[in-house]
A and B are shown apart, each in its own frame.
Chain A
Amino acid sequence: MSTDILTPVLSEFWDGDQPWKLSSYTRTGGYQGLERALRSTPENVVQIVKDSQLRGRGGAGFPTGMKWGFIPQDNPNPKYLVVNADESEPGTCKDIPLMMASPHTLVEGVIISSYAIRANTAFIYVRGEVLHVVRRLQAAVQEAYDAGHLGKNIHGSGYDLELVVHAGAGAYICGEETALLDSLEGRRGQPRLRPPFPAVAGLYASPTVINNVESIASVPSIIKNGCEWFASMGTERSKGMTLYSLSGHVVRPGQYEAPLGITLRELLDLSGGIRPGHELKFWTPGGSSTPILTAEHLDVPLDYEAVGAAGSMLGTKALQVFDETTCVVRAVLRWTEFYKHESCGKCTPCREGTWWLVQVLARLENGNGSEADLENLLDQCDNILGRSFCALGDGATSPITSSIEYFRDEYLAHLEHGGCPFDPAASTLFAAEGALA
């Protein structure tokens, strides 16, 4: 059976009447998954999620049910569920619209998932820089308490759950799960050494599951419709529907919910293609930490395996699309400045390395570098990748090594030109309006 090209599930009711309200959510089938889960055992819920083959939507693609299975139920400490709603990876913009339009999808997912791992306390760690999303989450959690979906003895099941919405305070590193835990404990958000893994010693040194918003929000539909239904979408090892976020120089940027494995060519066809008169130059498959790809990768199925085989990573499915007006050196320099700014300072390769990367890249972009700087950059990347404490350092090298692989000539053109040969005004959305409006 073939599935349709787009398959809105998470986004199905975003265009409805106040879909963020409990009444709207319930009217469209919401909380039926919870009802079903509470009639089942926690072990069975874990098994259904395992059988659905849902993989984490936050970037790494780790099987969600397996993660839940790592929680040692004989550990005497309380168990915790923490939702990573710190969406900050450049290009990534799927969880924020989900929580704004349908926060109850997440709240229902939190309750089912907490029940499955036997947690009685859960947290939604949402980045602080999205005020209206924080409001919608706060209101949804309050409505869920008032309806008896949260609190003591939920719907007579004997199961108790407290859910706290926790706003962060501006730090990309807190999207890294162990840094998030330190932050949630009221500390500087710095990653922890592993092992022990959070499943054994996470929040307050207790067994903890940390899942991305979209992963948890996928759970209610899996419980309601069944693992076979979910696994009927997608490719052989990448199952289910997911949100692809198309941004940049395309006619209709936005959220496209499709089975895993759609290609960028198909998404561009749907979205009207690259803006008129221009052509695709480079793109990220899943945020700035995933190596860039080019027009030769238009037909790569956007699932975990195929994007990996193409030399990148599916990441957060944040498809940032740039046309030929964009200077790749400028783009990479700006991402590198971001990593330097967000490096938490805990480990030397990342803290010092990202600083040096910016120095060399800025020199190249300004036309003051030399060809030897390219080898210098690659050598620095080699000393950061795999030698940093967490994935931030690894991610910082991705745009650099991949852009040198595909666009070495453009780096060299900066040297010949004595500076950047591109007009930054040409890449703006208002370029056609002349000057700067």
Chain B
Amino acid sequence: MIDEATMSELREIAARYPQARSGLLPMLHLVQSSEGHVTSEGIEACAEILGISAAEVSGVATFYTMYKRRPVGEYHVGVCTNTLCAVMGGDAIFDRLKDHLDVGNDETTADGKVTLEHVECNAACDFAPVVMVNWEFMDNQTPASAVRLVDDLRAGKAVRSTRGPKICTWREAERVLAGFPDGLADDGPAAGPASLVGLEIAKENGWAAPNVD
């Protein structure tokens, strides 16, 4: 059963758009935040608010990889195994984590803490190999650092993204994606070291864009 507060926020999302159905993707993010995954009740709620069928909502929910039809752990750990990260070590990291956590792809540890999944390119190739935790960057990983990472997450230790704040829970992350800010935008650095390499070299050499006439 979707509670009234969530129903009200789902309506609020739909109202952001010139046409309410445009709100469906963020609405499904909010369903995941509230329910822990895309539930039948969540699908019914979206359908009711948007005046479309549950089948139409299901058709959307099953198309996108971020929507999960089974409960997700407190921490979603995504290992990039697209070509570049895989070659640089992503395959080895993913194998080590499967072994260490004793789970397969898209499975959750028995304690409900970690869901492991291999993910596609996450636009951080200059920080390869990359691991995402609840869609926060954990740059430049090795099998050993990834094992420490999941151990810390399972032990409840605070883990900080290499380019972001302290990692929140997956459900908290989904709420931000639904368009409800959590006030953490000012945490973390502006850029990782690789993002600044060209700028540093330009400054060392006194290079700049042309002056304006």
Contacts and interface: CB of A to CB of B under 8 A. Distances in A.
A15 to B, nearest CB: 5
A6 B198 CA distance: 7
Nearest to A189: B63
Interface string A20-33: 11000000000000
B54 interface: no
Given A21-B186, A247-B125, A288-B83, A430 B181 contact: no
Interface stretch (B1-9, B108-116, B128-136, B149-157): B128-136
B123 A93 contact: yes
Interface string A127-162: 111111011101100100000000000000000000
A96 B124 contact: yes
Given A14-B191, A335-B83, A131 B134 contact: yes
Contacts of A121: 18
A372 interface: no
Contacts of B29: 128, 167, 169
A386 interface: no
A437 B143 contact: yes
Nearest to A97: B195
Given A1-B210, A131-B134, A248-B128, A138 B66 contact: no
B201 A6 contact: yes
Contact of B60 (A134, A136, A187): A187
B141 to A, nearest CB: 9
Contacts of B185: 20, 132, 135-136, 138-139
From A129, A183, A187, A226, residue with most partner B Cβ within 10 Å: A129
A427 B88 contact: yes
A436 interface: yes
A136 to B, nearest CB: 5
Given A7-B208, A338-B82, A168 B128 contact: no
B158 interface: no
A3 B177 contact: no
A186 B23 contact: yes
Given A170-B65, A229-B213, A100 B190 contact: yes
Residue of B66, B78, B125, B196 with most chain A CB atoms under a 10 A cut-off: B125
B177 A131 contact: yes
Contacts of B72: none
A60 interface: no
Interface string A317-335: 0101010001000110011
A186 B60 contact: yes
Which bracket fits the contact residues of B? 35 or more
Contacts, number: 302
Contacts of B143: 430, 436-437
A425 interface: yes
Contacts of B201: 6, 256, 270
Interface string B10-32: 00000011110111111011000
A234 to B, nearest CB: 11
Contacts of A171: 63-65
A130 B84 contact: no
Interface in A151-208: 164-172, 183-189, 204
Contacts of A136: 185
A7 B209 CA distance: 4
A319 to B, nearest CB: 9
Contact of B123 (A12, A96, A142, A164): A96
A128 B177 contact: yes
Nearest to B133: A131
Interface of A: 1, 3-9, 11-12, 14-16, 18-21, 78, 87-93, 95-97, 100-102, 121, 127-132, 134-136, 138-139, 142, 164-172, 183-189, 204, 225-226, 228-229, 232-233, 241, 244-249, 252-258, 270-271, 288, 318, 320, 322, 326, 330-331, 334-335, 338, 341-342, 344, 424-425, 427-430, 433, 436-437
5 contacts: A8-B199, A130-B137, A135-B181, A247-B84, A424-B87
